[in-house]
Structure 1
């Protein structure tokens, strides 16, 4: 009979990264604000990556040695994996972010309910070790295919789909205490940026003031050893939900007129976009204003940007932006902007359920502004998209709506 899955609560192990000597950057003349690491030499960055890879490799070796030692000691091979679930997520009101708790699940080789995930974790560990040795990177999709094969003597594949593979990689991240970037894995690029800033991307200087109609594609890896910032002249960041809205702002040169950085996340922003926003907010104290749809999904996107997400609670400290503001579109804008009935999109049962869930989040539950906002949307009985403002005028959102909100400091926090 298969053993039951066991769970235990342990204190988080803090893995101390090896310290490296700080090098003195080469002095260069730059405008206004400049990232401290923007002038670091390519040689120093390579050394930093080498130290990081060495540290990650050591963690993988420790994982493997623990399993091997168990085998030789006659014990069942097992590994501890922190639980990535709402039940193991804590709201830190003081920091304003979600954090992962201490609950850990034990993944055992001879447990029929755990054997598959045990095998998948070791397969991906082996692939990551090979990437470190080759000093190469792979996409999430590439990792899925690299570890995909039919188990000998069976018709069973190691992974059914990429979703299953992605989940195992996230388990590996939290188990090792290493970020995805430290495992040499990247996600598909999604998100765009333009504005008063120069980015140094893997040694290449990119002036985001001269990106034409397409903008700078925000990479999935935005760590300091890859991305540095120069000439950060902007006063704030305006993040919009969709590319279609971003195009309107870019075409109208909003970022130039209002001295800002304009970004978009194509819906739910990727880690790369959130990391970019986080770094600019923390390193240069740039306020982040979000222009999102007036619906439960727009509210959730804001929640993730501001507090972090349950599935990635272990990364909140490097992704969340507690002081991010929700500029709109708001439930009161239907009357305030004198919009027509044509823009109304009726709330369905799923929308209503989701809205109530969001209203019950600890970080929204005691926020009177947000309780009023969600209650107003539910009483309206409809949701609205940012694009609905086009019914007023093609450039109403860039020339009147957002400038008025900024001037009046009219937003939700």
Structure 2
């Protein structure tokens, strides 16, 4: 397995061979002028298999216009900052690396891409290279305590969000016997509402629960937590996901369940195979009493994303049907559309509960989102779905 030093030495050897020296005068022949420097990096856009990462090549000089040395300068600046962090044993972040040389990198996305490319090339995690993710995910609820290597214990609240720690800071989890469910929510605004409603300890649910959000496309720490819960919780505890009923919601769900296409080299640490799609399903909107006028027309970006997802291998058949339905109706549904179901809230809850044979309290006066989740979570706890639909 190559190291940061090996990559640097390979570049320097090629550079020394290409440049003139006192013992090797400059060769201006056509053959010499064609000499190039090549560096191989993992190509994360292509399918990754264990121990066999597809590669792409950086070359200098290039035939195309533009400064061909700039990609190499960006690459080795990233390598240098990683190496410095490893030697000093002081972890850095992608954001810190970007601000070390804004003019060279040009944008944060350049650093993000290079860090992940290098990790995939070396078949290491970013933490192995002393690069820490910037945490943004939140969790609230009851039934879980997180013990950190620092000696601190993160105690969860059913009403106040807590920032999810990075996995390298976590020593162990303590899970209460009463933990009955986990809910992952796409949107922070919806998450904050559920925290205020104390969903994690709601009396009409069959036990304690956790509510988690990655605020849209999830950060690494959130995915690591879900991966750990998926691997270690008893199989009767469902891990559920609430996303918008559109292509981007399904894409976020896919990132949680299968890992992102750009970080397949870390799939084993970042994917939560047990996660189930709780909603919002476009096929259930009619039963929810939501009129078509309340839905949003899809955009060209929605259509492109939906068609891209349909081409992916391994997408569950019921997800495909939802995507096809969205393309056919030309409509999508955001979670907030549940407010349109206010007049039929009793029917919604009773329908969902009765369908799964749940015999507890059928409904509870309140906002439609809460009633929807009470019905769906109770049903999932009473009749867990298969891990791989």
Same fold per TM (> 0.5)?
A: yes
**CA 1:372–1:108 in 2, change beyond 3 Å: closer, same or farther?**
closer
1:295 aligns with 2:246: yes
Q: Distance in 1 between matches of 2:265 and 2:367?
A: 40
1:229 aligns with 2:229: no
Q: CA deviation at 1:284?
A: 2.7
1:48-73 Cα deviation digits (max 9, x unpaired): xxxxxxxxxxx223333333444566
- Normalising by structure 2, we get a TM-score of 0.77
Whether the 8 Å CA contact 1:327–1:410 is kept in 2: the answer is: no
**1:203-218 equivalences in 2 (<5 Å):** 203-208=151-156, 210=157, 212-213=159-160, 215-218=161-164
Q: Distance in 2 between matches of 1:273 and 1:231?
A: 17
Q: Which residue of 1 aligns with 2:230?
A: 281
Q: Distance in 1 between matches of 2:376 and 2:263?
A: 35
**CA 1:177–1:216 in 2, change beyond 3 Å: closer, same or farther?**
same
Whether the 8 Å CA contact 1:139–1:186 is kept in 2: the answer is: yes
**CA 1:330–1:128 in 2, change beyond 3 Å: closer, same or farther?**
same
Whether the 8 Å CA contact 1:89–1:100 is kept in 2: the answer is: no
Q: CA deviation at 1:77?
A: 5.2
Deviates more, 1:288-297 or 1:351-360: 351-360
Q: CA deviation at 1:83?
A: 1.1
Q: Distance in 2 between matches of 1:63 and 1:250?
A: 48
Q: CA deviation at 1:262?
A: 0.9
**1:12-411 equivalences in 2 (<5 Å):** 13=1, 59-70=3-14, 78-85=38-45, 88-89=46-47, 102-111=53-62, 115-148=69-102, 157-195=103-141, 196-201=143-148, 202-208=150-156, 210=157, 212-213=159-160, 215-219=161-165, 221-223=166-168, 226-233=170-177, 234-257=179-202, 258-285=207-234, 287-341=238-292, 343-364=294-315, 367-393=316-342, 394-404=366-376, 406-407=378-379, 409=383
1:136-171 Cα deviation digits (max 9, x unpaired): 2222121012134xxxxxxxx422111122212222
Count of aligned residue pairs for this structure pair: 334
1:212-233 Cα deviation digits (max 9, x unpaired): 43x11124x323x535212344
Higher relative contact order (CA 8 A, sep 6+): 1
Whether the 8 Å CA contact 1:248–1:395 is kept in 2: the answer is: no
Whether the 8 Å CA contact 2:144–2:176 is kept in 1: the answer is: yes
Aligned-partner SS, 1:335: coil
User: Which ranges of structure 2 fall in alignment gaps of 5 or more residues?
Assistant: 19-34, 343-365
Whether the 8 Å CA contact 2:53–2:121 is kept in 1: the answer is: no
Whether the 8 Å CA contact 2:158–2:200 is kept in 1: the answer is: no
Aligned-partner SS, 2:140: strand
**CA 1:83–1:400 in 2, change beyond 3 Å: closer, same or farther?**
closer
Greater Rg, structure 1 or structure 2? 2
Q: Distance in 1 between matches of 2:220 and 2:183?
A: 17
**CA 1:112–1:199 in 2, change beyond 3 Å: closer, same or farther?**
farther
1:97-147 Cα deviation digits (max 9, x unpaired): xx7953222334544675322221211111112112222222212101213
Q: Distance in 2 between matches of 1:231 and 1:283?
A: 10
Q: Distance in 2 between matches of 1:222 and 1:141?
A: 19
User: Which ranges of structure 1 fall in alignment gaps of 5 or more residues?
Assistant: 1-12, 16-58, 93-98, 149-156
Q: Distance in 2 between matches of 1:228 and 1:274?
A: 16
1:75-109 Cα deviation digits (max 9, x unpaired): 96543211121xx215x8xxxxxx79532223345
- Normalising by structure 1, we get a TM-score of 0.73
Q: Distance in 1 between matches of 2:341 and 2:159?
A: 27
**CA 1:117–1:232 in 2, change beyond 3 Å: closer, same or farther?**
farther
1:311-366 Cα deviation digits (max 9, x unpaired): 112111211122321110111222111124453111223322322221222122xx
Q: Distance in 1 between matches of 2:74 and 2:189?
A: 39
Aligned-partner SS, 2:146: strand
Deviates more, 1:355-364 or 1:71-80: 71-80
